[in-house]
Structure 1
Amino acid sequence: MKKISSILLLILFLVSCSNDDNELQVSDVITGYKITSTTDYDDSSLPDYKMITTGILVDGKLHSESVEAFVNNVSTGPAITQQKYFYTSGLLSQVSLGGNFIDYFYYDNQNQLIGINRNYSGGQTLNYRFIHQSNNTVYCERLNLPYNDPNAEVSQRMILNFDQNDNVISAGYDNDLDGVITNLYNYSYTDNNLTSVQKPDGTIINYDYSGVIDTRNKLRELSYGKRVLRMICSENYCSGNSFSLDYSKNINSNAIISEDYEVLPNNYYNKKTRVESLYDPNAQNIEETEFFFE
């Protein structure tokens, strides 16, 4: 295991991102993760808090989380375990991440995502339908009714175009529902990293990456499916939202210098530490994310 220093990071930014030879090997399977969040107050009269979240994987995919809280390093009670990801025939069928909503995923007989229903606890529902126009083009539509209701009407359509590696290479809203993108965003990639975005006005934004592979993103792709993970964020791609950078293979160069990474020989990171200063009252929050391999 090696620890990335600031000098080494600067060197990594100047070289090309790692190639596919560094993908997970059979002997490097992710088996779980742990997130430890600690808040230490400068005022000794205030209690310190810690929360440990342990991720449980099944068949190498996201499944359940066990959460235990501590006050002044004393547990407040037994850990609570909840299943958050559900699968049917190996495909993600339900996600419950909190926030009082649950996503339900639906597929056709070719295992292509065709619908999502997001149900909120208050009774509100967001409905999406996905129409696969070709191998590379998908219409992502927001509806007023569930995707399979014949009376459903389209309130908004997004069009995504993919390359052979399931990266979004162009996207935009179809305001007239005529199959033509109104304002086109173009995306360019190098080694499955989003390296530039061209906006409808011609403006180009470039992005740089370190040589460190994003372990968290790899686990999400294994769980959701790479194309599905991008389809469910169609609004972000159609508006040029930089949130889409979350789905690149490597860690963005700006992100990696603001956090501390411990990296394995295959260039996947197995530990990330983020330190944040809090004020009024003054405190320090430390979040450590660890991934476990076999």
Structure 2
Amino acid sequence: MSSVQTVLLEWFRQHQRKLPWRGVTDPYKVLLSEVLLQQTRVEQTIPYYERFLARFPSLEALSRADQEDVLKVWQGCGYYARARNLHRLAQQVVAAGGVFPRTSSALRALPGIGPYTAAALASIAFGEPVAAVDGNVRRVLSRWYAWEKPTAGQIQQAAEALMAGLAQSQGPSPGDWNQALMELGATVCLPKNPACGRCPVARFCLGQAAPERYPGAKERKQRRLELTALVLQGPGGVYLEQRQGPILGGLWGVPMEEGPGALARLLVRFGLERAERLGSLRHEFTHRKLHIEVYRAPWVAGENPASRPLSRLDQKILALVEANLSSQHSPAG
């Protein structure tokens, strides 16, 4: 085993964070933690992980659930396609006998499982010597080798070479090695202000003289969307409808239209003549920047939004409505 591996693994054994999924090899729990950790910080992941397992303690329990129940438990975590895919995966695996595939290549055939998740799950749960490359690993390896603009293939090849050296030693588990690399990136080799002074493998790092140079920042392109939301309020609450599409599909929300003439289309759709403008708000997804004009009109029916899984976007819209109502009812002076 190379010296860098020996040193990093020893550091990991002594300094790894105490997380509820650490040391767990149950593939369902490993998968849940990995899916949650995509796009979500660790401190935010822990309560969602514990809440999800309390409601769906096994793959079988998840497979039997209604999608709406799954989305309700997931509510607030964002990236709802992850929850829908996890639900589909549970149904597919249980229908096939309830046993997970044990290799990363076979795992990739399951819904929502990409190269990273498949490698992480296979290495941690089943001990397959396969390299798992996430953003933390990409940053660590870019700095080790002083690569400013590495290709995905270049990073993957370097990670696989390190894993191959580990496998030849027949020593520590592949899952520990993958987690050690990720832990280094998450706690020491940070994107900004990396703690090089307490890095256990700093002497092996070619980029330590200017670590923030590696890797170069990726350009983030966001599509701007102009939307109009119509909040229909009735005696029972707010009218909601189930959303479709890849981003918020399966969740519930207020009627919404995109582009010029959106309000007119909404009014025609619900047989209304006018609506009151309440204000505007902004909301961002990874590749979309939304500007939403919010209107309100009376409605004869509705429901309590708390009974449905809502996205943060719709929660923000309803919060704007509540703020408007509160200001109207506040005593003057």
TM-score category (smaller protein): under 0.3
Normalized per residue, the structure richer in helix is 2
Normalized per residue, the structure richer in strand is 1
The normalised TM-score by structure 1 is 0.24
Larger radius of gyration: 2
Greater RCO, 1 or 2 (C-alpha within 8 Å, sep 6+): 1
The normalised TM-score by structure 2 is 0.22
